[in-house]
Structure 1
Amino acid sequence: MFETIPSYRRIAMRTIFALVLTFMLAVGCSQEPIEEIHATQGATPEATPIEIPPGSWPWWRGESRNNQVLDETVDFQWSGQPHVVWSDKIQGLGHSSPIVVGDKVLITTADEKQETKSLLCFDIATGKPLWTKVIHQGAFQRTHNKNSQASATPASDGKYVFTAFVVKDSLYVTAVDLNGQVVWQKEAGPFRSQHGYGSSPLIHEANVIVLADSDGPGFLAALRRDTGEISWRVARASSPSYGTPTLANVAGKEQVLVGGTGITAGYDPATGEMFWEANGPANTTANTPCATGDLVFASGGYPQTGVMAIRADGSNNVTQTHEQWRAREKIYVPTPIVFDGKLMAVSDDGIGLAYDIESGERVTRKRIGGNFSASLTRYGNVMLVPDEQGKMYVFEATPEFNEVASFQLEGNGFASPVFAQGKLFWRTSTHLYCLSPEKVSP
């Protein structure tokens, strides 16, 4: 007859076995850092000119990269819904915003039935589809139910349009000319998807810059606009995040500003060298930092929540020396805007928030309602943002968030509205719309 093992010993043995198994899995699944590629010292690649046609919105958050249009605005009057000049039903789904390049409007989309990821081009005056280019076929990744397979907004240098998609555990960047022909397609590096991809490409001089914060290995990379050759690539933490970098002249120099993986950081756009980093505001972000003067503002939402302001003139880790202020509110997916000395956003859970940029004092907390993933766009004296159900809110461009109008078109509202050539372009979950203050025959 076998001796019975006491229950406490069985529990102890199971615990030890579980710890050993966890350790073995962690070691087996650990990710080596990305192989870094360093910019050649003193060799700046000759850049073809970035020639954006007048009246364009060429990339995420517009040509000024601040989601604001202040010059040559037209009076929409905003008594209700503007006139629909044209609309096109979009095959597939995407949360990317449209871009406008001269006489063309472009969006990305992903058709799960056909398993295609595509770039679509429309005539700006009539909405006539000009061409569709399938960028990738098959190999769809796992995504969060609030993400899509086409969430990265494309970017254009006036000659090519650049897309960023994750396929087969790698991030691919593709250059397409304005006639819909692929010029080059390159793998920027690996990407292990947790909830999908959503970071939009960023154009700087000779390069297009992409961010790949994932389960590992994470990286920030610059590829030549003309050939796709990697100019530089630097490692980041192996931690999933979904934000988009931005380019700003802050603290007297150009910086690529990146949030996510538990830090906010500034990088040299020419080499990828990190200028500074500050801890926070969260491990995971899904929006874009913004800046004015010497200050950079970042927000995040998982597992920590909060908003922070950092003075961007330091070096190394500046958490203890250059943090201006922090606030506790959660602004996770929507990107704030900054003007007139205030940082403003509608939060994910429908709260209008405004902070003094110097002190961090919260000057507004106003219930709007609904849930939001899109970001505020300022057009002259108003701000617009849709909620996830597709209701477009129009507010006065002041911290009080006084509502001027609202309207709803078909489809849900995850993409941010853009303005170009006196018209509003908005992509819902089902359609691409062009709206104007006056009735126009396309």
Structure 2
Amino acid sequence: MTSKTPIRLFVAALLLTALAVDPAPANERARMTPADADPAETWPRWRGPSGQGEVVGSGYVDRWGPDENVRWKVAVPGNGNSSPIVWGDRIFLTTAESAGAKRSVLAFDLETGKRLWTTAAPAANPERAYPKNGHASSTPTTDGERVYAYFGNHGLLALDMDGEIVWHKSFGELNAFHGTASSPLLLGERLIIVQEQQRSPSFIAAFDRSTGEELWRTERETQVGWSSPAAISVTTDDGQERDEIVVNSQHHVIAYAPEDGRELWRASGTTFEVIPSPVVGHDLLFSTSGRAGPTLAIRPGGNGDVTDSRIVWTAAKGSPFVVAPMLVGDYLYMVNDMASVITVYEAKAGEVVWQERLGERMREGFSAAPVATGGKIFFTNDNGETFVIKEGPDFELLHVNRIGERTIASPALVGGVWYIRTDGHLWAIGS
């Protein structure tokens, strides 16, 4: 199926606004900070080694189904939307049982899918959670020595690779609107989490990854959000290299210094509910917010309020509500999950390249973050349908894979194999 004519739905609403900004210095750079891991052999965190769904390596099949290219399929107890992560010969994910009263980290054998161990977090009263979100939506992360998982009221914990709890931090009774979903982030020796809540101060905090000691905590005025923090490396206008922790959040995108948690800059323009994590490329950070809200292209590396000086372009409508965007080459791909419509922008300038519907129109019908490999981009809806499209300036839907089970979690890709979590199962997909 090929089409070069964008559908008309939403086009009028995509009001691109070019703003007057300072010219970008020729030497400025901005990139997502990669995980400290072999990108070809691990998938150690939310959205993989790159932090934005880019897959290193080749040999991944692009077709599958219940009886096609399935290497193994195993049952997963409980419920959860967290993505699987992979290190060495093990897969880790989280789950919740007994209406959230029991929350656990699970380990599986990479080759066979055999469950190796289950470790429950210390007990706590479950917080209120939106049914689709549940109590195990935060994707764990690993450095190959420990697995780190965040469970809201059940706390933040580190386990060794055999499932023994090394340390645990409790935050008491949280009052997060719809529950917890932001995933922890490792940056050097620091483990960073973001927790938005209503009746107590929201915060971003860093912990020593070895001991769990709280290194710093910064209160946030935002209340509603589930976006995961992103680590980026930038060159500032005066030529200084620095790291930034960026949080896509309610009404603002805010960057923090990882060493002490102080706020570096903020850009205003996001909406009330913010779920997608940002992506970085072409010296820009791309923020999206729902429901079908604005997209912001921000030049990071600034100081203070940069709303008027470093937002390079905006699109007023059509952003994803849940689904993180995908940046591949010169193009930014986004699914408006309120209508199942994908829009592709020229990333540097913000011009709409094409727009098409993926499958039937569904409200909140996409959740999993897309991935890109082999010149193709894979978008999976909640019904377990994966739309395989060709990268580039023209829309070409190659085919649709149907796994036959509800799919909310994002996949992990390692060593030529897809690891896909559906409701009740973990699948290994490969030739």
> Fold match, TM over 0.5?
yes
1:212 touches 1:218 (CA, 8 Å); kept in 2?
yes
Once the 2 structures are TM-superposed, how far is the Cα of residue 414 of structure 1 from its aligned partner? 0.7
Residues 53 and 298 of structure 1, relative CA distance in 2, 3 Å threshold: closer
In 1, Cα distance between equivalents of 2:98 and 2:71: 29
The CA deviation at 1:107 is 0.7
CA shift digits 1:121-179 (9 cap, x unpaired): 00000001100111143522211232121000000011000000111xxx721001110
Aligned with residue 57 of structure 1, among 32, 39, 43: 43
1:268 to 228, 251, 257: 257
SS at match of 2:308: helix
8 Å CA contact 2:65–2:403 kept in 1: the answer is no
Deviation string 1:352-389 (CA, Å, 9 cap, x unpaired) is: 11111222111121111341111111122111121111
The corresponding residue for 1:217 is 201
The match for 1:282 among 255, 271, 281 is 271
Match of 2:319 in 1: 330
The residue aligned with 2:216 is 232
Q: Is the 8 A contact 1:154 1:161 kept in 2?
A: yes
Contact map agreement 1:199 1:242 (CA 8 A) in 2: yes
Q: Is the 8 A contact 2:386 2:402 kept in 1?
A: yes
The Cα shift of 1:250 comes to 3.1
Q: Structure 1 residue 298 and structure 2 residue 287: aligned?
A: yes
* 1:162/1:357 CA distance change after superposition, 3 Å: same
Q: Which secondary structure state, in structure 2, belongs to the residue aligned with residue 68 of structure 1?
A: coil
Unpaired stretches in structure 1, ≥5 consecutive residues: 1-48
Bigger-Rg structure (1/2):
1
TM-score (norm 2): 0.84
2:228 equivalent to 1:244: yes
Q: For the structure 1 residues 80 and 175, does the alpha-carbon distance in structure 2 shift closer, same or farther, using more than 3 Å as the test?
A: closer
Partner of 1:78: 63
Give yes or no for contact 1:344–1:399 (8 Å, CA) kept in 2.
no
Equivalent residue, structure 2, for 1:12:
none
Decide which moves more: 188-197 or 406-415: 188-197
Whether the aligned pair in 2 keeps the contact of 1:107 and 1:120 (CA below 8 Å) is yes
Does the residue aligned with 1:432 lie in a helix, a strand or coil? strand
Contact preservation (8 Å) 1:150, 1:165: yes
Higher helix share: 1
Residues 18-33 of structure 1 correspond to what in structure 2 (within 5 A)? none
Query: How many matched pairs?
Result: 384
The letter of the residue matching 1:322 is R
Query: Relative contact order: is structure 1 or structure 2 higher (C-alpha 8 Å, sep ≥ 6)?
Result: 2
Q: What is the RMSD computed on CA atoms of the aligned residues? A: 2.1
1:194 correspondence with 2:194: no
| Alpha-carbon displacement from aligned partner over 1:38-86 (angstroms, at most 9, x marks no partner) | xxxxxxxxxxx956696010000111112111x3211525387751111
SS of the residue 1:415 aligns to = coil
| Alpha-carbon distance change, 135 to 243 in structure 1, aligned in 2, over 3 angstroms | same
Relative to structure 1, is the Cα distance of residues 269 and 138 closer, same or farther in structure 2, using a 3 angstrom cutoff? closer
1:146 aligned to which of 97, 115, 132:
132
Q: Using structure 1 for the length normalisation, give the TM-score.
A: 0.82
Question: Aligned letter for 1:353?
Answer: T
Contact 1:243 1:259 in 2 (8 A): yes
Match of residue 6 from structure 2: none
* Poorly superposed stretches of 4+, deviation over 6 Å: none
| Equivalent-residue separation in structure 1 for 2:287 and 2:401 (angstroms) | 30
Q: Structure 1 pair 238/114, CA: closer, same or farther in 2 (3 Å)? A: closer
2:222–2:249 Cα contact (<8 Å) kept: no
Q: Distance in 2 between matches of 1:361 and 1:237?
A: 33
Equivalent residue for 1:117? 103
Per mean C-alpha deviation after superposition, the further-off stretch among 185-194 and 125-134 is 185-194
Match of 1:314 among 290, 293, 302: 302
